[in-house]
Structure 1
């Protein structure tokens, strides 16, 4: 298994790049989010990779971050979602956006990705529920407003109390940025009791 590659970036032909690693050129498919972070041709590059072996091909996929690679691995485990579709999803949405779409069960956000129709989006949301969401939501504090540590603790508390991902995220959106964890939980519970 090839888990990481470091070498000289020779070519960019989206979605494929060519990396020279000690005289061997590796063709690596990357999502657009990773492609935008790559240096110019002729520069050193380091990528986390996922190696796929099929009957008819051996494919290497590269990612700038561990969260992208883990999201890719989660997506390709879903029946009917191949590596190309997973790359398209990661090219069209950030990992935190995918996590929020899953938590909120918003199929419309997934249908903005080329090649993902309404039925596929709904199936993805159903199969990703519980596998994708809490960690990625709490790692995107800008869209929630409170600090990452506080939001993660409040979110975990709400989930432990039996609220769904969607309910918990909606409750977090109404909490001010400078709130303590205990006050945040109280405020979230007050918001949830009104609904």
Structure 2
């Protein structure tokens, strides 16, 4: 299995790049989030990869960050979601946005991605719940250290990621930790 490529960026043609590794050129399909962060042609590049072997093709998918690759791997495990669809999802939204959409169960955000319909979006939300790594999605909604502490306290008290994230949105941005926990608990007890 090829896990990482490091070499010279020889060609860029979205969504594919060509990485020259000591005279061997590897064609790698990348999400647009990775594509936009690539250096200019001729520069050194390093990509984490996922190798897919099919009956009719062997395809390398490349990612700038480990979180992107892990999200891709979780996506392709879902029935009806292949590598192209997974790449489309990661091109349409960041891993943090995807994780936040899953945490908050927001199918509307996924439907905006080309190739994702309502049923597929609902399946993604259901099957990805809790699988995108700790605090990736909720971290996107955390504005400061105090909110991060409030979030951790709510999770430790047994509230779900979704409940904790929704209660954080209702808090003032500059609230302290102890006051924030009290306000969040009040809001959660009314819900």
TM-score normalised according to structure 1 size: 0.89
Provide the aligned length of Structure 1 versus Structure 2: 191
CA gap 1:154/1:162 in 2 versus in 1, 3 angstroms: same
The aligned residue for residue 143 of structure 2 is: 145
**SS of residue matched to 2:100:** helix
The aligned residue for residue 135 of structure 2 is: 135
The aligned residue for residue 184 of structure 2 is: 188
The aligned residue for residue 167 of structure 1 is: 163
Q: Any gaps of 5 or more consecutive residues in structure 1?
A: none
TM-score normalised according to structure 2 size: 0.91
Aligned-pair CA distance for 1:130: 1.8
Asked whether the 8 Å contact 2:150–2:177 carries over to 1, the reply is yes
The aligned residue for residue 38 of structure 2 is: 38
1 CA distance for matches of 2:77 and 2:151? 26
**SS of residue matched to 1:9:** strand
2 CA distance for matches of 1:130 and 1:151? 20
Aligned-pair CA distance for 1:177: 4.5
Q: How large is the RMSD of aligned CA atoms in angstroms? A: 1.8
Aligned-pair CA distance for 1:163: 2.2
Asked whether the 8 Å contact 1:7–1:19 carries over to 2, the reply is yes
The aligned residue for residue 58 of structure 1 is: 58
Asked whether the 8 Å contact 1:146–1:175 carries over to 2, the reply is no
**Residue 126 (str. 1) matches residue 126 (str. 2):** yes
Asked whether the 8 Å contact 1:99–1:134 carries over to 2, the reply is no
Counterpart mapping for 1:74-89 below 5 A: 74-89=74-89
